[in-house]
Structure 1
């Protein structure tokens, strides 16, 4: 029977682990995150049936990209989100960005291919479903333009929750009552599921934003929301993520970051664009 005493990590163990996790994900943990990391590692060790850090870590490195690593990623990624979060950026998408996208691609009557929007990381799905709701309810071109909405995340657990799309009161507290009645179904005490029509409008993917080979499948997006994730990366990982986002956008495409993030501190490859609602970044037109 496994011990119930928490597994203790030495300073050397913590350093070795952080180096390993950084190489696999690009996520950098400082000593200030020690308590958080230690607690999550203890959970992973118990989930895997080991009693010591040394035995668990050896098995983790042997399996490398297997289930143990995915369990670890799921434990250590933060997924704080809710519907219509930082919705001033959705305002910018509707009022300025999408009209600019249509104009750049020849106008509504001449546009070739769908308008593609990516939410990365999408966490448990509130962001891509918020995008779908805003488009359906407030974009006057939605009946004339084909739109693809994609959500992606490194965490397989949150992607499963996004696919199920069942949310508690806190997640939906900002959703207008009329939208709740129209697009959500009560599935239990204080739980609401997004209806099938909205769920089917969002395609979900598992991807590591810092892994360039896996990010190569993301191309020709007109708009990308990548909010509140780059703050978890060091300089090198942030730059790699920025380059992967750049490659995923069409020339002239738009990138939204979190309110506390700044691309100017990471990479000069994007052009900042000051919209009435706030700052957005563009892949320059004609850029390769």
Structure 2
């Protein structure tokens, strides 16, 4: 029997109330996300899998190990992150980026100037690569400026997959066939690999929006797409994330959130702007 078989067949640990609280507190401290008792099965399944892989039978012993061992803490965080995404997700914001946001920035720049775009969380790469593809397809001035796209995520395993750039039919389903043919090479079965020129044009790095120390090396950006992340935070974590987003923006820069998220409910530091295709927030 393989280690994968052992993990799949391992019984779920029955976490006590104190253990549930400890898991929730650790994950909140590390990620800013809330995992409460209503997610007991989700928590027990992932804790159980990590316990088998790390060779622990006692929950408290395992959690103590995860607190002190960096690689295991990273693996546990990866196990709890959510990577549900696909190409051209919420494409109305991509339309706003090409039609209004970048033209507004370009009016204040000279040809050849740097424009920095940050996709966070980028999941397994679809979010960041979607920006690159959309601009190549829809912004006529894309080659006139030095566009730098950075994708980041808390999940280091997702970052590795993003760098590899291999995708199945579900991830590609919303892309027009001619776009798939132009930017993706066929592989085994129905899988595709993003072409090298495009893959090498996006830089992927691990980063944690509630941990400023992981963000300082990234510098400041002109546009940040931070979509469908803040919904997993409580008010305190949202305020911290908003402060970090503000500090990561150049003056006049734009933030795009998910369709159900509102910066106005979190902080008044940003100015809301209603564009034709989206509501965005600017650093004054």
Calculate the TM-score normalised by the size of structure 1. 0.93
Q: Structure 1: state its 5+ residue gaps.
A: none
Select the structure that is richer in helix: 2
Q: Secondary structure at the match of 2:95?
A: helix
1:83 matched to which residue of 2?
87
2:119 matched to which residue of 1?
119
Q: Describe the superposition over 1:30-86 as per-residue Cα deviations: whole angstroms up to 9, x where unpaired.
A: 2222221121111111111111212211211222xx111111111000000000000
Alignment of 1:243-254 (within 5 A): 243-254=243-254
Q: Structure 2: state its 5+ residue gaps.
A: none
1:266 matched to which residue of 2?
266
Query: Alignment length, in residue pairs?
Result: 278
* Structure 1 Cα separation of the partners of residues 152 and 120 of structure 2: 5
Q: Secondary structure at the match of 1:124?
A: coil
The answer to whether the 8 Å contact 1:219/1:250 transfers is no
Q: Secondary structure at the match of 1:7?
A: coil
Q: 1:6 Cα deviation (Å)?
A: 2.0
* Structure 1 Cα separation of the partners of residues 63 and 146 of structure 2: 47
1:176 matched to which residue of 2?
176
1:166 matched to which residue of 2?
166
1:29 matched to which residue of 2?
35
Residue 145 in 1 paired to residue 149 in 2? no
Q: Secondary structure at the match of 1:122?
A: coil
Residue 100 in 1 paired to residue 100 in 2? no
The answer to whether the 8 Å contact 1:219/1:247 transfers is no
Q: 1:217 Cα deviation (Å)?
A: 2.0
Q: Secondary structure at the match of 1:118?
A: strand
Moved more, 162-171 or 20-29: 20-29
Q: Secondary structure at the match of 1:123?
A: coil
RMSD, aligned CA:
1.5
Q: Secondary structure at the match of 2:217?
A: coil
* Structure 2 Cα separation of the partners of residues 271 and 202 of structure 1: 28
Q: Secondary structure at the match of 2:218?
A: coil
1:62 matched to which residue of 2?
68
Q: Secondary structure at the match of 1:47?
A: helix
> After TM superposition, where is structure 1 displaced by more than 6 Å over at least 4 residues in a row?
none
* Structure 2 Cα separation of the partners of residues 134 and 166 of structure 1: 18
